[in-house]
Amino acid sequence: MFITGLGLLSTGAILPEIVGDFQIGYDMAGVLLSLQATGNLTAVVVSGYLLDILGRKIILLAGSSMLAIGFLGIAFVPYASLIFVFIFFSGCGWGINNIVSGITNDITGGSAAHLNRLHIFFAVGGFTAPFFVVFVDYIGFNWRVVAAVIGLLAVISVIIISLIKIPLPLPKETKSRVSFEAFRHLRYYIFIAIQFTYAAVETVMNGWITTYFQGTGILTNIEAKTVLSLIWISIMVGRIIISVFGKNIKKEHILVACSLIVLIFSTLLIRVNSLIPIAVCVFALGLGLSALIPTNLANSAVITSGSGVAMGVLLSSGGLGAAVGPAVTGVIAERLSLNASMWVAVGFALILLIMAIINNIFGRKIKNEVHSN
């Protein structure tokens, strides 16, 4: 999770340099991020299915291997066309590694606290990434060294995973449990919609926030990368808080509160133009984003537990959102302006809040049915 977070956020942090070195437009930069997300989407669907056939260890080994191939390829690629290929591979590694959330969900019985603890380490990687990129630049190296180091870390991850014991499914999580039962539940599609819209908002912010603030001249290069890191500090803080106190709060309430915060501060973020207000908005936005994915996955456990297919489709909906968000943003940035493009995140945030409210209604309905029985 740490290496995946480091790799994904480093991609966003070095995007302005990639755009400059290969002379590609904002629309192609959006395609670049979307290809990484498409790799995520493709891999998470396939790995969710193969998880039930090949087992957990092989799938996790494949994830780190793809991440290594992708980032080492990015580090040494000579042509712009090839970087699109290797960034797709890095996305495949991201997607396969996401399956660790499903494994944790099964082992803990849908614990929001444990899922948030797991995702803290993704946030630590995300928080580290911009500082890592700035440090590499400071000591006189370019963005290719950033990609090479991440690739080497992924190789180390392959070695570690090959040596450790991966928990086997519980007896109730047999292949007979793997079915399309989850697809009969309307609420399952609400979980999918939350996953999709959250991923769209987060990927737009993570992938474009550095390019947006640098491209508009609102912040300097160092300030823009620091702001990107700040969002992951707050995501880390938020996940720590939920991992400690989350068991005392209904999952549905956490999702509504976080979605409301995301909508408010994603709107405010593109209305301010100085460092301190931007930093405040980014920190608050990170707090809102922090618990959404792990809590949504934990909330879905009653439907998806034990089914690699159901969890794979749920995770893949996030991959689809991560692919759609940056692509739409890139097109609008190229045809209109960088300022206009950031409103894409606000639109997805509004849909996210609506879905969270509907999910809360489902939660109340179930509670009332339990009390009536």
The pLDDT of residue 180: 65
**pLDDT digits 0-9 by tens, 3-43:** 998 998 788 778 888 888 888 877 787 788 778 878 877 88
335, exposed or middle or buried, with CB in 10 Å at 0-12, 13-18, 19+? exposed
Q: Which residues of the chain have pLDDT under 50?
A: 171-178, 369-373
Instruction: State the Cα–Cα distance between residues 144 and 75, nearest whole angstrom.
Output: 4
Side-chain-side CA neighbours of residue 135 (13 Å): 9
Helices 186-215, 343-372: axis angle to 10 degrees equals 150
Asked if CATH classification 1.20.1250.20 holds for the domain at 2-165+178-372, the reply, yes or no, is yes
Side-chain-side CA neighbours of residue 143 (13 Å): 21
pTM metric for this prediction: 0.71
Which residues neighbour 372 within 8 Å (Cβ) at sequence distance 6 or greater?
none
Residue 337 carries which DSSP code? -
How many CB atoms are located within 10 Å of the residue 244 CB? Answer: 12
**pLDDT digits 0-9 by tens, 198-225:** 989 988 887 777 777 877 788 887 888 7
Which residues neighbour 317 within 8 Å (Cβ) at sequence distance 6 or greater?
192, 193, 195, 196, 199
The pLDDT of residue 168: 67
Task: Copy the structure tokens of residue 18.
Answer: 């990639």
Instruction: State the Cα–Cα distance between residues 291 and 369, nearest whole angstrom.
Output: 27
Extents of the domains making up the chain: 2-165+178-372
